[in-house]
Amino acid sequence: MLTPDIIKKKRDGQVLSPEEIKFLVSRYVKGEVPDYQMSAFLMAVYFREMSETELLNFTLAMRDSGEKIDLSGIRGVKVDKHSTGGVGDTTTLICAPLASACGVPVAKMTGRGLGHTGGTADKLESIPGFSVELSKEAFFFQVNKIGISIMAQSQELVPADKKLYALRDVTATIDSLPLIASSVMSKKLAAGADAIVLDVKFGDGAFMKGLDAAGKLAEIMVKIGNHAGKRTAAFLTSMEQPLGNYIGNVLEVIEAFKILKGEEKKGDLRKVSVQLASCMVLLGGEAASFGEAEKKVLGALDSGKGLDKMEELIKAQGGDPRVVEDTALLPTAALIQTVCSDASGYVQAISAEAVGRTSLLLGAGRTKKEDKIDLSVGIILKKRVGDQVEKGEPLVEIRGNDPLKLNFCQKKIKEAYRIGTEPPVLSPLIPRIIL
């Protein structure tokens, strides 16, 4: 088998065999296929795409390129949840304890933030003492004991994806649906869950800007999951504005606590989190219908069982559970600056990407994996799309530790808002669910 023949075959739109795909992926991971040949293959896929069978085989070959987690030692139906990334997207910190409180074992491996979207591992590490670096034995033991554990993703998981993603980044092949789908699903399949709930973002602050493209990606990933023997569902959720009102690691933890404590009864973040948790409960076999699952999740939220599960999680992983009731124990930024509206009217739009990038400039995120982040900084939205605002009324509160960054970000965050005289027409938050 020769690599140029495989590239030519895909270039000409032919279907690759499972053996050809496995050969290419395994040899690339070993360093026996050079970057220039794999770059040619990626570009061929970009233009010619892949059949369903090809894509499944490509995803499985990526999954099999490294360590695979066997969760059979954990009792029950394990359900994983994955978001394609957004701004103020704190759903894991809410839906995971809620699903666990409803009887679903949550054994979740999570990543760190890169760019303008945050990472769950970083958010949890803003809790004093909390560790996401667990051994597999400790991870399994904890899920069996309390029903939930969240740990940092193993570096040995899907090495093919790490190499391919870096190559896609410099070869203009990032926005290929087959390559995106195989990247996400190879990691989810390697993580060992029995079922997968996908939260596919679309809009200004998401990787996929359009609803149609996001829908196609969601359909592809659901098919891959189902064909691989994992019951898979996907939600299409809007990222036209930040999902939550708090953006930044410790601030997002605080907002999750507020929702779990019942202090926030409405809002987009709460709604999406409840829907995702309900789907986890349904796929986990703890409810016979989505309606029954949602009733159980709302019961866990209203009764405080979800909050209790969050406290258990924090304590089990070395954190101080007192932070749930006393957020003053969490890291706090030294400086606070309020940004006010220059006009009266209605908030017609908030650029989620601009808000995320402003948070990044404050120090809340990374542009490179080795960057050190400031867990205490971030942004609190005081007005959302559709809200009426008066001139001089606060739009945003910025929290930081560097006066120069704070002043620069004040201008940037104001540019993220668009104020007009007419109330906007609000788009659906969750326009589609694929079950």
What are the residue numbers of the active site?
A: 82, 161, 168, 183, 187
Nearest to 100 by CA among 145, 153, 154: 145
Residues 6+ apart with CB under 8 A from 116: 87, 205, 353, 356, 357, 359, 360, 365
Q: Using CA atoms, how far apart are residues 304 and 163, in angstroms rounded to an integer?
A: 43
In a 13 Å sphere around the CA of 108, the CA atoms on its Cβ side amount to 28
Pairing of strands 148-152, 106-110: parallel
State residue 299 phi and psi, 5-degree precision.
-65, -40
Q: Using CA atoms, how far apart are residues 283 and 435, in angstroms rounded to an integer?
A: 10
Q: Using CA atoms, how far apart are residues 320 and 326, in angstroms rounded to an integer?
A: 10
DSSP 3-state of 148: strand
Residues 6+ apart with CB under 8 A from 299: 305
| b (16+ CB within 10 A) / e for 412-429 | bbbebbebeeeeeeeeee
Strand partners, 67: 157
Nearest to 120 by CA among 138, 105, 135, 132: 132
CB 319 within 8 A of CB 132: no
Amino acid (one-letter) located at 412:
K
Across the beta sheet with 246-247, the strand order is 246-247, 378-381, 394-400, 335-340
| b (16+ CB within 10 A) / e for 6-22 | bbebbbeeeebeeebbb
With residue 1 as reference, give the H or E element that holds it. none
DSSP 3-state of 84: coil
- Chain Cα centroid distance, residue 176: 19
Nearest to 297 by CA among 103, 107, 110, 434: 103
Q: Using CA atoms, how far apart are residues 201 and 55, in angstroms rounded to an integer?
A: 21
